[in-house]
Amino acid sequence: MPLRSDWSARTCSLARGLDVLGDPWGSLVLREVFFGNGRFDAIKKRLEVADNVLSKRLGWLLDAGLLAQRPYVDGGRTRQEYVLTPKGEDSLPVLNAIIIWAEKHLDAPSDIAHMRVIHSDCGLPTSSADTCSHCGTQLTAANTSWHSLKRSDHPLPLAVAPSPVSAYAVSTRTAPTQAAPAAETEPAS
């Protein structure tokens, strides 16, 4: 998954990790899939991104094994949507850390330009990326919600990697599809 240049063989694991997770569009695609928003047109609508930019990131994330394709039927046609793999789900603490760091250190352009990482069981925002800073519970996609004030007035539970793994269509990868915009409903927000 080259980002500008190929960092995948660097001797530093931070550099190798950034090769996969250091691309803003790629990480925003992961954000959408964590929000359960895994269909091409819905991701495109939410990110306001060009088809070729989105297709390239979806391809990278498939090749890197963070996403898999899963078929769904849309108006009698079978299309592919994107779901997390366990490897993709494991990126959650990284994304949580970026959100928490940005909330702490970066100015927001408006009052609603905020996102909180919530431990769903206690309902409180956490200031730690991998454990709830209130109760100490290890955070997983299954017990974490993200509250994007722009997106909704309440925290949204995150998607998890479908189980069993055989539910994936990983061995039958197809090019990212570009379905008709009218085929999609507004993503859950």
DSSP state for residue 8 in the 8-state scheme: T
For the chain, how far is it from start to end, CA to CA, in angstroms? 29
Beta carbon of residue 132, minimum distance to Zn ion (angstroms, whole number): 3
The residue at minimum Cβ distance from Zn ion is 132
Beta strand 77-84 with 115-119 is unpaired
Residue 83 or 139 with smaller CB distance to Zn ion: 139
> Of the two residues 44 and 119, which places its CB atom closer to Zn ion in the complex?
119
Q: Which is nearer to Zn ion, 132 or 141 (CB)?
A: 132
Instruction: Tell me which residues touch Zn ion (CB under 5 A).
Output: 119, 122, 132, 134-135
Nearer to Zn ion, 21 or 118 (CB): 118
To the nearest whole angstrom, how small is the minimum distance from the Cβ of residue 15 to Zn ion? 33
Q: How far is the CB of 48 from Zn ion (least distance, A)?
A: 34
Q: Which is nearer to Zn ion, 71 or 123 (CB)?
A: 123
Q: From the CB of 60, what's the least distance to Zn ion, in Å?
A: 33
The minimum distance between CB 115 and Zn ion, in angstroms, equals 18
Amino acid identity at 185: T
